[in-house]
Structure 1
Amino acid sequence: MRFSGLTARHGPLTTGQANMVRCMLTDPPEHMNYRVVRAVQPGTTLAVLTEAVLRLVTRHESLRTTFHDGLQRVLAAGEVTVEVHDTGASPAGPEDAGTRESDLAEEVARRLQGTRFALGTEIPLRVAVITSGGVPRQVVLVTTHSAMDAAGLAVLLTEWDELLLGKPLAPVTAPQPLDVVAAERTPAGLRRAESALRHWERHLRTVPRSTLTVPVDGETDWLLPRLRVRSVPAAGALGRISARTGASPSAAVLAALAVLAGVRARQRTVVVLSISANRFRPELREYVGPLAQDALIPVDTGADGFDAVLRGARSATMTAYQNSRFDADALIRIMEDVQRERGLFFARDIVFNDMSVPGRGPRAVRAGEDVHSVWLPPAVLPTRTSLWVHRTHGELDVTLWADPRCLPRDDALALGEGIARLLIEAGDRDVPRAELTALTGVVPVPRDDGWLPVDGCWVHLPEVGRLTADALARLTGGDGTAPAAETAVVAEADERLGHRLVCFTTAATTPAALHSACLGLLPGRMSAMTPHHYVVCAAAPAPGAPWQDLPRVTEGSGR
């Protein structure tokens, strides 16, 4: 199916496009691609469906845009492939025909979603129609984050439904992506982006690099268990909390997540990355393109009562959302600089995604239960923990995604249900922090003597030792003929950092080379940090003797 006769355009990428294009090249396609399955009303023909697809492609430039080395090209002509798959059953046939249609639609949707889009040659829209006896029954739409975020997808699906109902669509008044580029490059747009980068850098230099800090190495396959938690009383409590504190229901749920994560981690500052829709300006409300980016929210959870934590979270959230549109390339450079200077890798381990729509009514929940939870099938999401908020009005409905290596199922259950239980109680009073464990079942994670507070982070000293040993092995290689180097990491009291980590080694290396090797192995090591200082010694000390007293060949920070 071809489209033609449109206007070809080209230019730079928006900040949202650049961010998503980068993610699409590395993150699992199951996470980066949206899939939607829609039932087809009786009497809808294949011609009607293909015409609706063409209307959407011609209305929205994002659906006919390809990407080439930092540039976007809007196609004036091209092709949209519409796959047709028939169940082989008559529409008026067996009673299980509907099940066969749904199963086939799900199979096709998984295949189309699980295949990466070819950004330079493929338009970001895949379509399949499921038929029975040649009659359309379901349609599968697959698009991707480079074309739109969740809010943009909602706009697109609303238009799709209206087209199939035969309703006329209003003219497009929202900007197209290249129009957004022009706005971002005005003096005001550049100032906002620079302010956002300053916000991120200021906090990245001081906040803990992780909250779910456990001795876990390496990357997971990101197939995470999911816990769905629902509660009608919690939704009612959110209204009372908002009336008492002035905070929104969304901020209250975020604060509950943060304070309970802080209890578990024994950590006062909890960093939450909240996905911001960035649609604050009226002209962007109907924009079909990617605007959503992370907002960095440091939440101080150390107050004695939940109300104070919530008020602080509300203020931090508002500031973070105002600083959530930025040049992702510039932010990565800042992260790399801070990583080298602080010797730590910033973990995206608590993500908050509020997808609720105000005004949605309640759903039925199991009678007699204040909080109801159920485990859903695992799904792909590249983060350690994420809370998705589906609704807050009439019923609190959330899904907690949790890497079991960081948050085992029993702990995830306590955290997910604990958020609802805390909100129910906070609807009637300011809940003291001292009562949170008894109320929710969230208990502090055990930490032995090997755990130390370093630069605002929990660090496991044996894991730092293993990091340096692995880094030296990578540096020196070794053919087995030379004696192995001896290495030790020592923690020294430090007024500013809490503890200062010093690595002593007899290896033939330099502080700069060893620091770089440690940095290269940091991603995925949630409980480690690079040493702050490196000392190369000519020989190891006698058993029981301190390394600090040995003659030094060379030393330095490596930073």
Structure 2
Amino acid sequence: MDFVASGRAGGMAEQIIVAFEGEGSGVDDLSWGQLDLWMAMRRQNSWLPLGGAVALPAGTSLADVVENLRYLMSRYQPMRTRLRFDADGRPSQVVSSSGEIALDVVDAGDDDPAQIAEAMRRRYEETEYDFVTQWPLRMGVVVRAGLPTHLVIIMCHLVADGSGAALMIAELDARETAPIKGMQPLEQARWQRSPAGVRQNQAALRYWERLLRTIPARRFAGSDDRRQPRHWRGEFRSLALQLATQAIADRAGMDASPVLMAVYAMALHRMTGINPVVFRPTVNNRFRPGLADVVCTVAESGLCALDVAGVPFPEALTRTRQAAMASYKHAYFHPVDVDDLIARVAQERGPDFDIGCFYNDRRITTRAGSAGPTPTSAQIRDALSGSQTTFRWTIRQDDPFERLFVHIDDVADAVQITVFMDTHFVSPGDAEAFLYGIEEIAVEAALELVPHPS
């Protein structure tokens, strides 16, 4: 291992230079998934870093950490991908077959290793990323008395979407050596220019244009509490919501994803008064040929319109499943073509037209319903009344989010909803009421479906 000394606040630091070599190289257009993420990064003025700091298992050696970094860089083409820009600023993907990357090693000394790791995480996330010259992964390890205690990994979202990241972690843990599966981004870009790719894009554009010309022009009624900083993020956790959605999914014999989407749509209608509700669900696109097991970003935001005004929950759920299937089918497209279409329709329909409402269900462990018995009505009521629902505002910033973006995640014994919003369109009070409304609607629907004990 080659060590390079460097100065770092919070402890003595060195760098280990790690060489890597893997299959595949070349230059091509960005794939549709990459381009969709690139455009989101431009809108939000962020390179959308992913990752965090974790404590390492006892017995982990520095050599283990080095080999894990080498494995990631060697196995996955997106880890070896940088960007190239033409004279008009149009990006291309540049995949290298080999190279070197630095692993930061920080000796905590007498300081708390967890605090050193957290400081490293913040530094990695807050330091600007050079898409042209830097690899899209930043990795560091905190050591005490020569033994690694914490690992910090931050990567650019262009490397992988949520499903791709989960697959990458599983393969790293297993040290998978089987050949890489699925179409890599270079191959995806070639397919997307093929006759089959052109047909897929044209079908998606027809679907989008039909909806864009018929949906209500506005997504939000407007905010009466505009704040500065303008863009806020909040975090909501609810055990009752988890139990209620699991109970409904179990009783209906389906995946929990459409259950929560139906609840979300009904709460959105309650908040805005606008019908049908229109939002952009994140679609992982891994049901498509060649994309199921690929580590990269293939997810795109579809378009879904749902008429849920005044209908009972079972009917809303049926409508959600039907509308979601149509949205998923047409959520694989050239993002520039869709953006151009949106701009043309918006110019015709007036300045109030927007579709800046997003929904991203990132759950993995709870999407298939409960692993054990169906939650009972008593359990749901106990969770609702037992102060096991929490909400807090976490970030206020000037850099933009979308007008409303909701992420759904697995956490221990709860569903977590992270809401990002523009307070000029959704007030803090409305956003908080919206989140509690999601819980309320789910609980009411579950208690109607789940038998009461006699």
* Matching of residue 337 in structure 1 with residue 344 in structure 2: yes
Alignment of 1:237-276 (within 5 A): 237-242=244-249, 248-276=255-283
Which secondary structure does the structure 1 equivalent of 2:216 belong to? coil
Partner of 1:87: 108
* Residue 218 of structure 1, CA deviation: 9.7
Against the structure 1 CA distance between its residues 263 and 357, is the aligned structure 2 distance closer, same or farther, given a 3 Å change threshold? same
CA contact (8 A) 1:29 1:113 kept: no
* Residue 315 of structure 1, CA deviation: 1.0
Distance 2:432 2:385 in 1: 19
CA contact (8 A) 1:371 1:417 kept: no
Alignment of 1:263-342 (within 5 A): 263-281=270-288, 283-342=290-349
Distance 1:345 1:328 in 2: 22
Alignment of 1:105-254 (within 5 A): 105-163=117-175, 169-214=177-222, 223-232=231-240, 234-242=241-249, 248-254=255-261
Distance 1:84 1:379 in 2: 32
* Matching of residue 375 in structure 1 with residue 392 in structure 2: yes
Partner of 2:95: 74
Alignment of 1:350-429 (within 5 A): 350-358=357-365, 368-369=385-386, 372-378=389-395, 382-391=401-410, 395-429=414-448
* Residue 325 of structure 1, CA deviation: 1.0
Distance 2:394 2:260 in 1: 24
Distance 1:218 1:418 in 2: 21
CA contact (8 A) 1:245 1:311 kept: no
**Number of aligned residues:** 415
Distance 1:193 1:104 in 2: 47
Which secondary structure does the structure 2 equivalent of 1:304 belong to? coil
Distance 2:371 2:45 in 1: 34
Distance 2:264 2:444 in 1: 15
Which structure has the greater CA radius of gyration? 1
Distance 2:448 2:341 in 1: 42
Q: For structure 1, which runs of at least 5 residues remain unmatched after alignment?
A: 90-96, 431-559
Distance 2:159 2:448 in 1: 45
Q: For structure 2, which runs of at least 5 residues remain unmatched after alignment?
A: 1-17, 86-90, 450-454
| 1:77 maps to amino acid | S
Higher relative contact order (CA 8 A, sep 6+): 2
Distance 1:356 1:161 in 2: 20
Partner of 1:477: none
When normalised by structure 2's length, the TM-score is 0.82
* Residue 140 of structure 1, CA deviation: 1.0
| 1:45 maps to amino acid | S
| 1:105 maps to amino acid | A
Distance 1:5 1:289 in 2: 16
Query: Which stretch shows the higher mean deviation, 377-386 or 145-154?
Result: 377-386
Against the structure 1 CA distance between its residues 217 and 61, is the aligned structure 2 distance closer, same or farther, given a 3 Å change threshold? farther
Distance 2:352 2:434 in 1: 25
Distance 1:86 1:247 in 2: 50
Deviation string for 1:29-48 (max 9, x for gaps)?
Answer: 36x11122232222322222
* Residue 241 of structure 1, CA deviation: 3.2
* Residue 77 of structure 1, CA deviation: 2.5
* Residue 245 of structure 1, CA deviation: 5.5
* Matching of residue 11 in structure 1 with residue 44 in structure 2: no
| 2:53 maps to amino acid | V
Against the structure 1 CA distance between its residues 221 and 27, is the aligned structure 2 distance closer, same or farther, given a 3 Å change threshold? farther
Partner of 1:538: none
| 1:71 maps to amino acid | S
Distance 1:298 1:339 in 2: 17
CA contact (8 A) 1:358 1:392 kept: no
CA RMSD in angstroms comes to 3.1
* Residue 111 of structure 1, CA deviation: 1.6
Distance 1:301 1:290 in 2: 32
| 2:327 maps to amino acid | A
CA contact (8 A) 2:237 2:414 kept: no
Deviation string for 1:466-516 (max 9, x for gaps)?
Answer: xxxxxxxxxxxxxxxxxxxxxxxxxxxxxxxxxxxxxxxxxxxxxxxxxxx
CA contact (8 A) 1:247 1:310 kept: no
Deviation string for 1:162-221 (max 9, x for gaps)?
Answer: 34xxxx543322332112223333322221121112111211122224322315899976
* Residue 375 of structure 1, CA deviation: 1.2
| 1:211 maps to amino acid | R
* Matching of residue 57 in structure 1 with residue 64 in structure 2: no
Which secondary structure does the structure 1 equivalent of 2:233 belong to? strand
* Matching of residue 46 in structure 1 with residue 62 in structure 2: yes
When normalised by structure 1's length, the TM-score is 0.67
CA contact (8 A) 1:231 1:370 kept: no
Distance 2:34 2:306 in 1: 29
Query: Which stretch shows the higher mean deviation, 35-44 or 311-320?
Result: 35-44
Distance 1:206 1:17 in 2: 29
| 1:140 maps to amino acid | V
Against the structure 1 CA distance between its residues 308 and 80, is the aligned structure 2 distance closer, same or farther, given a 3 Å change threshold? same
